[in-house]
């Protein structure tokens, strides 16, 4: 029987010792699924999720689903919250991540990503993971963004955060500061901007997005006195894209770019590194921001925060970012299917 609901969105519950389990339970207390007319399938250890919800005094309304097979998912006719059980490797102590559960956390990501790639699910939304608990099992694990690109066999991916009327993408993601300059090449920057131009058109209906690009160095290099990356790398890429008709401007000094007179006439900012762009955005919208992976063959959004270990086991966390990440994934799915 054909369902008249939208296809399911999968939610990975993330690090079991962090706030992901409570966030998922808080979500399942809401009517968001009914409003968006969708089933949401939460992936994680069902016993853990149920116990953690009860301990925190959260009363989720969710049902179990035994399989993510297309036949099962397409028959989920009722908008609402469903739990798909995947067992922990070892017992979890709330607030204390254990690398022994790293493969459990990654299995949730693999399962969700595969279901999206297969078209069984419309999108995946990720609760936070504890990166340091995964790297002993998966050396070099830097974050969902890089891991999902690897899983999708995609060489390029762009992290963009959306919040407080801003969209801030990053030219580099989770690498040490000392490696940033070398990681930014004309090729990588061109590819990043091309991905932004393409996905801003698909998912935000911006046919000719205006993108402002920061410099890397103080004062955008001060004409070469404070660094030459702007002259050697960033400006040539901007000029080449302008010659192709794109509205890409810069490089602008990052310290003064984030003011209304620039932002209100633009669609997105490309910052050169993680802590150049994200503190500005998080100052404006922490708890309401969304992390979007651009350039993947699937829709993936996430929260703007981490595992907040000290809050795990309580219901004192703000679920606003997860709610926004879900709205954003829903919107992106509709755009991709040309329904919005």
Ligand X SMILES: NCC(=O)COP(=O)(O)O
Binding site for ligand X (CB under 6 A): 143-145, 278, 291, 302
How far apart CA 319 and CA 309 sit, in angstroms, is: 15
307 binds ligand NAI (CB under 6 A): yes
Which of the listed partners (ligand X, ligand NAI, none) does 145 bind, with a CB threshold of 5 to 8 Å by partner kind? ligand X
Backbone angles phi, psi at 264, to 5 degrees: -70, -15
Helix, strand, or coil (residue 291): strand
Reading the block at residue 105, the tokens are: 């956390």
- Tell the burial category of 70 from Cβ atoms under 10 Å away from its Cβ (0-12, 13-18, 19+): middle
Which residue is closest to ligand X by CB? 143
318 binds ligand NAI (CB under 6 A): yes
Q: Which stretch binds ligand NAI (CB under 6 A): 107-115, 202-210, 276-284, 308-316?
A: 308-316
6 binds ligand NAI (CB under 6 A): no
Q: Which stretch binds ligand NAI (CB under 6 A): 39-47, 107-115, 152-160, 304-312?
A: 304-312
Which of the listed partners (ligand X, ligand NAI, none) does 303 bind, with a CB threshold of 5 to 8 Å by partner kind? ligand NAI
310 binds ligand NAI (CB under 6 A): yes
Rounded to the nearest 10°, the torsion over CA 164, 169, 174, 175 is -130
Residue whose token pair is 């250890």: 45
234 binds ligand NAI (CB under 6 A): no
Query: Is 283 annotated as a binding-site member?
Result: no
Q: Which stretch binds ligand NAI (CB under 6 A): 27-35, 62-70, 130-138, 211-219?
A: 130-138
Query: Is 86 annotated as a binding-site member?
Result: no
Are 226 and 219 in contact by the 8 Å Cβ rule? The answer is yes
Maximal CA-CA distance, the chain: 68
Query: Is 151 annotated as a binding-site member?
Result: no
> How far apart, in Å, are the Cα atoms of 321 and each of 27, 199, 284?
11, 21, 13
DSSP 226: T
Alpha helices (H) along the chain: 20-27, 32-36, 46-55, 70-73, 102-117, 131-134, 144-151, 180-183, 186-204, 229, 235-243, 254-257, 260-263, 274-285, 320-336
Q: To the nearest whole angstrom, how small is the minimum distance from the Cβ of residue 126 to ligand NAI?
A: 6
Query: Is 305 annotated as a binding-site member?
Result: no
Query: Is 85 annotated as a binding-site member?
Result: no
52 binds ligand NAI (CB under 6 A): no
> Total binding residues for ligand NAI by CB under 6 A?
17
How far apart CA 40 and CA 55 sit, in angstroms, is: 23
Reading the block at residue 286, the tokens are: 């922490």
90 binds ligand NAI (CB under 6 A): no
Q: Which is nearer to ligand NAI, 246 or 305 (CB)?
A: 305
Q: Which residues are annotated as a binding site for a divalent metal cation?
A: 174, 219, 274
- Residues forming the annotated binding site? 144-145, 174, 219, 274, 282, 291, 300
Q: Which residues bind ligand NAI (CB under 6 A)?
A: 19, 128-132, 144, 302-303, 305-308, 310-311, 317-318
């Amino acid at each position: 029987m054909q369902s008249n609901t939208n296809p399911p969105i999968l939610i990975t519950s993330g690090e079991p010792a962090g706030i992901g389990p409570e966030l998922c339970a808080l979500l399942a207390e809401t009517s968001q699924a009914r409003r968006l007319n969708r089933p949401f399938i939460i992936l994680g250890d069902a016993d853990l999720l149920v116990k953690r919800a009860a301990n925190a005094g959260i009363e989720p309304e969710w049902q179990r689903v035994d399989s993510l097979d297309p036949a099962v998912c397409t028959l989920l006719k009722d908008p609402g919250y469903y739990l798909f059980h995947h067992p922990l490797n070892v017992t979890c102590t709330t607030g204390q991540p254990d690398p022994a559960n790293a493969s459990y956390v990654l299995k949730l990501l693999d399962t969700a990503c595969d279901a999206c790639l297969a078209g069984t699910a419309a999108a995946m939304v990720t609760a936070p993971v504890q990166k340091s608990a995964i790297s002993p099992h998966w050396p070099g694990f830097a974050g969902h963004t890089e891991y999902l690109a690897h899983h999708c066999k995609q060489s390029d991916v762009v992290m963009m955060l959306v919040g407080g009327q801003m969209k801030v993408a990053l030219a580099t993601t989770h690498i040490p500061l000392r490696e940033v300059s070398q990681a930014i090449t004309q090729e990588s920057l061109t590819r990043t901007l091309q991905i932004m131009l393409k996905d801003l058109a698909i998912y935000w209906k911006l046919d000719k997005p205006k993108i402002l690009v920061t410099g890397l160095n103080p004062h955008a290099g001060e004409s070469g006195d404070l660094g030459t990356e702007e002259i050697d790398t960033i400006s040539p890429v901007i000029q080449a894209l302008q010659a192709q008709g794109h509205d890409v401007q810069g490089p602008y000094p990052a310290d003064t770019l984030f003011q209304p007179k620039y932002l209100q006439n633009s669609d997105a900012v490309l910052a050169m590194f993680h802590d150049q762009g994200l503190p500005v955005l998080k100052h404006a919208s922490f708890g309401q921001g969304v992390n979007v992976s651009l350039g993947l063959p699937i829709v993936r959004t996430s929260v703007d925060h981490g595992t907040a270990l000290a809050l795990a086991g309580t219901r004192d966390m703000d679920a606003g970012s997860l709610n926004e990440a879900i709205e954003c994934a829903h919107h992106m799915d509709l755009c991709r299917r040309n329904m919005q």
